[in-house]
Structure 1
Amino acid sequence: MWKALASNALTFLVVLLFLAGGVVLWGQQSYQNAGPLEAPICVRVESGANMSRMSARLERDGAISSGPLFRIGADYSGKADQLKAGAFLVPEGASMAEIVDILTRGGASTCGTEVVYRIGVTRSRILVRELDPATSRFVETASFNPAEDEAPAPFIAAAEQGDTRHRVALAEGVTSWQVVDSLKSVGILTGEVANLPAEGTLAPDSYEVKQGDSRQSVIDRMVAAQDAILAEAWANRVDGLPLKSPEEALILASIIEKETGVAEERRTVGSVFINRLNRGMRLQTDPTVIYGITKGQGVLGRGLRQSELRRETPWNTYVIDALPPTPIANPGKASIEAALDPASTNYVFFVADGTGGHAFAETLAEHNRNVAKWRQIEAERNNN
């Protein structure tokens, strides 16, 4: 009898252990396998949030199948108390393990609200955008000029959210004065810029910033980025260029940047100026004349006068025989590369063609015909 009882108890214990093992295996698989999300979602983790509240919200939003299992998995992996504040994109089908990793990994927010301080050639604007998880594209919710407009409600709300991302975006062709002046309106930054950066030394790009960053530190990052771009392009330059130094390359790149907004034209425009320098011809480019008038402080806002084309300034390439003494703007990477690896052409002239691009020519006669076509286009536009 006792043997039978002992045998039954042992059998029962084995069954219990087998069932427990099965439950553990099921739990592990459920924690690791793809989850129920049918579309990406943005999950906001507030400062001070705990795993219990997050698991309840994720289960309610259909991101996980079991809140308790989510908490057990987070605790077992040692991440239960490692939640990071922010807004994070959780992709469709993410497993519980993947979601725990996303919410505890840290780093910049990957979704939610973004404020972009866009520094443009003709104006600067502040944009407020929200990431649409379904398309992974930002949707603009507000846009304003900080120098002229009052801050709209979406911007004020974004400024109060601790997980809002902030970026300073420089357009290609802005001047150093424009950058420093525009940074004054970026309220989350502190301090002043010690000295106006040398023209051309700031890399047009997008820079993530955070509350309390100094304006000087942002400028330093821009300078370091441009130094790296210029050093690489100079190391990979083609032979036979009439450029003695990286600084001269930067000057030419800035002229290319201001002469064309058509990406496909940059290397061709670069070839025109290289050919002119090789032949001892003056560059004769209007943007250099404009820089001699404005010194990069704002936009001229009108056409050039004949007297200004003849006026002697260090930058007027209708008067000087070579490159101006400094860049006339901050060129982007593509323009720097165009200066150091231009297209192989015999062009020495170009003029606007009415489409936003330019007509190029090897001879003065051909150029004069292109100029006549452009003047006809201008006249027709003025008459309409």
Structure 2
Amino acid sequence: MKKLLPALALVAALALGWFAYGWYGPAEVGKDTTFIVADGSTLTKVAHQLQDKGLIKSADSFLLRAKVFGGREPVQAGEFLIPKGASASSILDQFQSGDVIRRFVTIPEGMPSIMVYDRLMADPMLTGPIPVPDEGSVLPDTYNYERGESRIKVLARMQAAMTKFLAAAWAERGKDIAVKTPGQAVILASIVEKETGIESERKLVAGLYSNRLKQGMPLQADPTIIYPITKGEPLGRRIRQSEIAAVNDYNTYTMTGLPTGPITNPGRESIEAVLHPAKTKALYMVANGKGGHWFADTLEQHNANVQKWFAIRRARGEMN
């Protein structure tokens, strides 16, 4: 009997080691594999799906070992990346921790809401319909989401981000700025966003338009002519004289003050530029042919800059 006890102990130790190795040793994952846990799935259902996909040898063995070694937390829904050589233990840990695959959608600065709508609706990994969001309600940024997440939830995060950022930025606004409300700040920032893509110009453009607002001058911003025609999408041609003369709630050539609403979704930098504009006397600007602008304090200076711009266009063969 004394000789039998060590043998039994050895057998028991080997059995326990085999049992533990089946949990902590490599499973049957031969390559990185995506796996989807549907909403409301039980561990039993997931175990059988793992077996069906050949990622574990036996669902019953997986469930037994999970009862002994695994945590009591439920599995989370989502899309998971199971790495090559993963153990049964690490697979369950992923499912319980919710370590899902994160996908990303980017809304660049100056993307109008109709194009935000198009981008979200075109993403096949998202689900459900959305309305075209209010212009200026989305904060341009890169957002992560899970496969199968609803578009309305993703859009809500984008809009919540704008609300949060705008509130914080407004609280730190400069003194004697031209806009009186956060909503007005977004409207003017949307114009600044469309007028220049050069970071170093943003505050100067914001200062110029702030000067015009304070003096009761029309803003005369070309993008405000285009917006009611295309809702922010590219016009694809030059602006017509009839469109410059059109009277509506957006055209800042035929009205003073701000348009009735934003003309795009402005980024953080353009909003900050409006809330902290450059101290300048500039009232006019015209393209300089290099992607930026010449700025002028007086109409005489501006007219000279316009002639320089016309000379560049003639040299390019764009006008006679």
| TM-score, normalisation: structure 2 | 0.69
Counterpart pick for 2:231 among 286, 296, 311: 296
Report the residue type matching 1:341 in the other structure.
Answer: H
Q: Output one character per residue of 1:36-76: Cα deviation in whole Å (capped at 9) or x when no partner.
A: x99x934334765526945984589xxxxxx9998776443
1:78 paired with 2:70, answer: yes
Residues in 2 aligned to 1:377 and 1:89: alpha-carbon distance in whole angstroms: 55
Relative to structure 1, is the Cα distance of residues 207 and 91 closer, same or farther in structure 2, using a 3 angstrom cutoff? Answer: closer
1:89 paired with 2:81, answer: yes
**Which residue does the alignment assign to 1:340?**
275
Residues in 1 aligned to 2:200 and 2:55: alpha-carbon distance in whole angstroms: 48
Question: Contact between 1:51 and 1:71, CA under 8 Å: does it hold in 2?
Answer: no
Residues in 2 aligned to 1:218 and 1:382: alpha-carbon distance in whole angstroms: 46
Residues in 2 aligned to 1:287 and 1:71: alpha-carbon distance in whole angstroms: 62
Relative to structure 1, is the Cα distance of residues 11 and 228 closer, same or farther in structure 2, using a 3 angstrom cutoff? Answer: closer
Q: Output one character per residue of 1:8-27: Cα deviation in whole Å (capped at 9) or x when no partner.
A: 45665666677778x48985
Report the residue type matching 1:286 in the other structure.
Answer: D
**Which residue does the alignment assign to 2:212?**
276
| Structure holding more strand per residue | 1
Relative to structure 1, is the Cα distance of residues 241 and 85 closer, same or farther in structure 2, using a 3 angstrom cutoff? Answer: closer
Which structure has more relative contact order (CA 8 Å, sep 6+)? It is 2
Report the residue type matching 2:177 in the other structure.
Answer: L
Q: How many residues align?
A: 310
1:381 paired with 2:316, answer: yes
Report the residue type matching 1:271 in the other structure.
Answer: G
Displacement of 1:236: 1.9
Structure 2 matches for 1:257-276, cutoff 5 A?
257-276=193-212
Relative to structure 1, is the Cα distance of residues 75 and 251 closer, same or farther in structure 2, using a 3 angstrom cutoff? Answer: same
**Which residue does the alignment assign to 2:287?**
352
Q: Output one character per residue of 1:241-290: Cα deviation in whole Å (capped at 9) or x when no partner.
A: 12111111111111112112334543332233234334554322111222
Question: Contact between 1:351 and 1:359, CA under 8 Å: does it hold in 2?
Answer: yes
Displacement of 1:347: 4.2
**Which residue does the alignment assign to 2:110?**
173
**Which residue does the alignment assign to 1:43?**
34
Displacement of 1:173: 3.1
Give the 3-state SS of the residue equivalent to 1:321 in structure 2: coil
Report the residue type matching 2:229 in the other structure.
Answer: T
1:327 paired with 2:262, answer: yes
Greater Cα offset, 95-104 or 282-291? 95-104
**Which residue does the alignment assign to 2:128?**
189
Question: Contact between 1:178 and 1:296, CA under 8 Å: does it hold in 2?
Answer: no
**Which residue does the alignment assign to 2:24?**
31
**Which residue does the alignment assign to 1:305?**
240
Give the 3-state SS of the residue equivalent to 1:241 in structure 2: coil
Relative to structure 1, is the Cα distance of residues 248 and 46 closer, same or farther in structure 2, using a 3 angstrom cutoff? Answer: closer
Greater Cα offset, 282-291 or 200-209? 200-209
Counterpart pick for 1:199 among 131, 135, 139: 135
Q: Output one character per residue of 1:107-144: Cα deviation in whole Å (capped at 9) or x when no partner.
A: 75447xx9xxxxxxxxxxxxxxxxxxxxxxxxxxxxxx
Relative to structure 1, is the Cα distance of residues 253 and 10 closer, same or farther in structure 2, using a 3 angstrom cutoff? Answer: same
Relative to structure 1, is the Cα distance of residues 230 and 72 closer, same or farther in structure 2, using a 3 angstrom cutoff? Answer: same
Provide the alpha-carbon RMSD of the alignment.
Answer: 4.9
Gaps of 5+ in 1: 61-66, 115-166
Question: Contact between 2:108 and 2:140, CA under 8 Å: does it hold in 1?
Answer: yes
**Which residue does the alignment assign to 2:42?**
none
**Which residue does the alignment assign to 1:241?**
177
Gaps of 5+ in 2: 39-44
Question: Contact between 1:51 and 1:81, CA under 8 Å: does it hold in 2?
Answer: no
Relative to structure 1, is the Cα distance of residues 44 and 377 closer, same or farther in structure 2, using a 3 angstrom cutoff? Answer: farther
Report the residue type matching 1:352 in the other structure.
Answer: A
Give the 3-state SS of the residue equivalent to 2:244 in structure 1: helix
Report the residue type matching 1:189 in the other structure.
Answer: G
Residues in 1 aligned to 2:206 and 2:50: alpha-carbon distance in whole angstroms: 59
Residues in 2 aligned to 1:72 and 1:248: alpha-carbon distance in whole angstroms: 62
